[in-house]
Amino acid sequence: MSSESSGSSGAPSGADQGSAAAVELRGITKRFPGVVANRDIDIRVDRGTVHALVGENGAGKSTLMKILYGMQRPDEGTISIDGEYAALHSPADAIVRGIGMVHQHFMLADNLTVLENTVLGAEKLYGIGARARKRIKELSDAYQLGIRPDVLVEDLGVADRQRVEILKALYRGARILILDEPTAVLVPQEVEALFANLRELKAEGLTVLFISHKLGEVLSVADAITVIRRGTTVASVRPEETTPKQLAELMVGSELPSAETRESTVTDEPMLRVEDLHLSATDPDGGRRTVLDGISFTIHKGEVLGVAGVEGNGQAELVEAVMGMSDPDGGSITLDGEDISHVSTRARRESGIGYIPEDRHRHGLLLEAPLWENRILGHVTEKPNAKGPALGIPGAPQLLALKEARADAERIVAEYDVRTPGIEVTAASLSGGNQQKFIVGREMSHEPKLLIAAHPTRGVDVGAQAQIWDQIRTARREGLAVLLISADLDELIGLSDTLRVMYRGRLVADADPATVTPQELGSAMTGAASGHLEHREDDGAQPQGADATQGADEPQDAEQPQDADRSQNVGSVESADSTDSNDSERGGDK
Ligand SMILES: Nc1ncnc2c1ncn2[C@@H]1O[C@H](COP(=O)(O)OP(=O)(O)OP(=O)(O)O)[C@@H](O)[C@H]1O
């Protein structure tokens, strides 16, 4: 594997020009209790192409890719790689066959360098020293990955981490790369950079298979598209012959949704008021770094406040602070006139905050518990899950109302179209998008006053996305206030009444959702100046927090102020001469 992967360009050769497909899946069937995840699937993927897999939540895409990567065994069917039958019993078998996979949740060790992460477990290939370093450089140059081997992974933004994952796979000799929803966490500029990388890879004869719910992107980068519905392939289409609308109809039989919110329902009654919130975190070396640096905003009843930002600039920490999951150094949080700065997460929920967390596995679900128990999670003292006080004695603890909780779990499954064999199965056995739909259903069921929604439609298909957007809009009309964090800029622009940009732990700019484009917002998020954005005077000109080692783009501190002719209605995200008082600080890195 290693010998065949050192071509003169440093790229794996992939040069076999035979007519065999890079991947041929024939008659793949995979059953789980109560579900046929894949049913007699045939797919042929030509060498040197980018092949997209699309389909609604629970259609069977991830299962199929896990089978190809040796993580799961099919009950029936065969896999051929480059025309040869391949028995893939484990990822190790797949790697030997030149298959690599980049999962949605990156699997890198934060406290190790890029080089260490790359060689870990693959020491036999090029050792751990000079040869390994040379190989990393060759691959990085050949595919223009821009890898810096000695940087700690924790200092990298998401787009860079993704490139490290791709490099890791290439280093192990991958010629077939599987990417699971690779663009879900990227801003538009980063998506473009990733697609440029994918084009480089295929130009060198590599084959890319990727799963995505973003149909516009699929059409822009894929050479071929396979649509899976309810476990089986329903169409193979060429992008040049297809529109996003047709693709959506093939997938779910529904129209492409629009996030656009036209009529305003914003009132002048404040629901959430956050004032001068400061939060710092301890670095592994014991130093302190600023994560939230004087955050202030108000969300009114009937208002959706969207916060745009490249992952790692403090949005996640802002959400956790509002939910009472961290202990801010200063500032206050007021909900509907009540100071909740020092009350517990449970008390915050009980006073009417719904919470759709960013990491559904860590904060949204008990993965090994049945779905009906997950109905109770986070709402243990609320109806319909609780009844009491026990035995009618005042002050006695409440009892869990198990029957009612089960019935309500059934209702959520039906209303939110959660595809599951039942409420007794574990949350872990649901597909990612169906887990998300269940969480959204649970949180909306309690008619919150304030919804904290972090990436509410991440991983859900276009049909379910439309439904979730509708739910949020309907509740907003009835006075719901929403703090919305999303990497999906169309969603952010479409749903928000007010839009703020977060950068290095500060709210640095405002954007008008009616006029701003995803590209402009994306630029602002990476620290560049952009049109339609208003510099926030009240946040002060000098950022105190954190260098932005986030994202693919380095901070553009050295950039000059914008052209005078653009400056009339345009604000820079940060003043051009801003100098970080502490370059070692980072905004909200994990
Ligand atoms: N380990 C498992 N145990 C039981 N059922 C499973 C397991 N993994 C997947 N399933 C079921 O198989 C079906 C296909 O799931 P899969 O994750 O492949 O869907 P998907 O198309 O990737 O969905 P999404 O777009 O939501 O990620 C679903 O009904 C899911 O609940």
Question: Which range scores top for mean pLDDT: 96-100, 155-159, 200-204, 363-367?
Answer: 96-100
231-255 residues labelled b (16+ CB within 10 A) or e (exposed):
bbbeeebebeebeeeebbebbbebe
Q: What is the CATH number of the domain that holds 520?
A: 3.40.50.300
- At residue 14 the predicted structure's pLDDT band, cuts being 50, 70 and 90, is very low
Residue 437 Cα to ligand 1 middle (Å): 13
pLDDT digits (tens, 9 = 90+) for 387-400: 766 555 666 566 77
Final residue in a domain of this structure, among 252, 284, 308: 252
User: Does the model's pTM come out above 0.90?
Assistant: no
Q: Report residue 360's pLDDT band, with 50, 70 and 90 as the boundaries.
A: confident
pLDDT at residue number 479 = 93
187: in domain? yes
The verdict on 458 and 545 lying in the same domain is yes
The answer to whether the beta carbons of residues 176 and 100 sit under 8 Å apart is yes
pLDDT at 195 over 50: yes
- The candidate with the shortest Cα–Cα distance to 293, out of 556, 539, 523, is 539
Q: How confident is the model at residue 252 (pLDDT cuts 50, 70, 90)?
A: confident
Closest CA to 378 of 410, 341, 405: 405
Cα(67) to centroid(ligand 1), Å = 12
- Residue of minimum CA distance from atom 17 in ligand 1: 431
Q: Tokens 């480059």 — which residue?
A: 82
Final residue belonging to a domain, choices 203, 229, 252: 252
Quote the pLDDT of residue 366.
Answer: 84
User: Average pLDDT of 43-63?
Assistant: 94
Measured in Å, residue 448 CA sits from the centre of ligand 1 at 30
In a domain, 6, yes or no: no
The pLDDT of residue 401:
75
Determine contact, residues 297/305, Cβ cutoff 8 Å. yes
Residues 462 and 346 both lie in one domain: yes
CA dihedral sign of residues 335, 338, 340, 345: negative
Q: Which atom of ligand 1 is nearest to the CA of 38?
A: 14
Q: What's the average model confidence in pLDDT over 152-172?
A: 89
In the chain, % of residues over pLDDT 90: 48
CA of 361 to the centre of ligand 1 (A): 15
Residue 265 CA to ligand 1 center (angstroms) comes to: 38
Domain co-membership, 430 together with 489: no
Asked if residue 466 is part of any domain, the answer here is yes
Q: Is residue 8 part of a domain?
A: no
Both 461 and 566 in one domain: the answer is: yes
Q: In the prediction, which pLDDT does 577 show?
A: 28
What confidence score (pLDDT) does residue 94 get?
95
Residues 506 and 545 in one domain: yes
Number of domains the chain is built from: 3
Of 214, 431, 434, 462, the one to substitute when testing ligand 1's pocket (max ligand atoms within 8 A of C-beta) is 431
Q: Are residues 215 and 291 in the same domain?
A: no
The share of the chain scoring above pLDDT 70, in percent, equals 82
Angle at 107 between CA 101 and CA 112, to 5 degrees: 130
Mean pLDDT of the chain: 81
Tell me: do 107 and 200 sit in the same domain: yes
Indicate which atom in ligand 1 lies nearest the CA of residue 419. 29
Mutate to test the pocket of ligand 1, among 227, 413, 430, 462 (most ligand atoms within 8 A of CB): 430
Structural domain containing residue 479? 265-352+448-590
Residue whose entry in the numeric block shows the structure tokens 């894949």: 38
Tell me, yes or no, whether 258 lies in a domain: no
Span from the CA of 429 to the centroid of ligand 1 (angstroms): 7
Supply 442's token pair. 């649970």
- Are the CB atoms for 499 and 512 separated by under 8 Å? yes
Domain assignment present for residue 482? The answer is: yes
Same domain for 375 and 304: no
Between 429 and 463, name the one with better pLDDT.
Answer: 429
To 10 degrees, the CA torsion angle through 176, 180, 181, 182? -50
Indicate if the pLDDT at residue 147 is higher than 70: yes
Interface confidence (ipTM) of the complex: 0.99
Residue 502, beta-bridge partner list: 507
Distance 33 CA to ligand 1 centre (A): 11
**264 pLDDT higher than 70:** yes
Q: Residues with Cβ within 6 A of ligand 1?
A: 32, 35, 37, 55, 57-63, 419, 429-434, 459
Write down which residue in 425, 445, 465 finishes a domain: 445
Sheet holding 176-180, edge to edge: 99-102, 176-180, 207-211, 50-54, 224-229, 232-237
Residues 145 and 281 in one domain: no
Would 10 be classed as within a structural domain?
no
pLDDT of residue 321: 94
Instruction: With respect to residue 4, please indicate whether it lies within any of the assigned structural domains.
Output: no
Q: Are residues 413 and 497 in the same domain?
A: no
Residue nearest ligand 1's atom 5 by CA: 429
Q: Which atom of ligand 1 is nearest to the CA of 66?
A: 18
Q: Give the mean model confidence (pLDDT) for residues 160-189.
A: 90
Instruction: Band the pLDDT of 206: cuts 50, 70, 90.
Output: very high
DSSP of 552-582: SSPP-TTPPPPPGGG-TT-B-SS-TT---S-
Pair (469, 576) in one structural domain = yes
CA of 375 to the centre of ligand 1 (A): 19
237/102 same-domain check: yes
- CA-CA distance, 325 to 329, in Å (whole number)? 13
Report whether pLDDT(547) > 60: no
pLDDT greater than 60 at residue 137: yes
